[in-house]
Amino acid sequence: MTTPMPEIPVDQANPLLSETPARIITALLETPAGQRLALTIRTPSTTLTVLLGSQDAKTWAQLLTNAAAQMSQSGLIVANGHMQAGG
């Protein structure tokens, strides 16, 4: 019998997702579609870059702010399977 896992948006069995140093780098870029925020996350095994429009960048910033506000003093996000509105 398997135990149901809480709804966490990562594959907890993936060894590449263990704690590791990471850097977030941002830059403003002028593109044919207009100005974009390039957001790059670099880890020892992965580099991910996304180009965000102004509203998307604000939405991502709010989501990060809300998640950081829910963090316990130990630095762990309290995963309860529910998103909290507001911030």
Report which of residues 57 and 9 the model is more confident about: 57
Residue 85, domain member (yes or no): no
Residue 15, domain member (yes or no): no
Domain holding 43, by residue range, is 21-69
Residue 12, domain member (yes or no): no
Residue 44, domain member (yes or no): yes
Residue 6, domain member (yes or no): no
Task: Give me the pLDDT at residue 76, please.
Answer: 56
β strands within the chain, DSSP E: 23-31, 34-42, 47-52
Residue 2, domain member (yes or no): no
d(CA 45, CA 25): 16
What tokens does 6 get? 């809480």
Bridge partners of residue 53, in order along the sequence: none
Task: Give me the pLDDT at residue 11, please.
Answer: 74
Contact at 8 Å (CB) between 61 and 70? no
pLDDT of 19-66, one tens digit each? Answer: 777 889 999 999 999 999 999 999 888 899 999 999 999 999 999 889
| Residue 72: other Cβ atoms inside 10 A | 8
Summarize the confidence of residues 4-8 as an average pLDDT: 62
- Total domains present in the chain: 1
Which among 24, 20, 27 is positioned nearest to 48, based on CA atoms?
A: 24
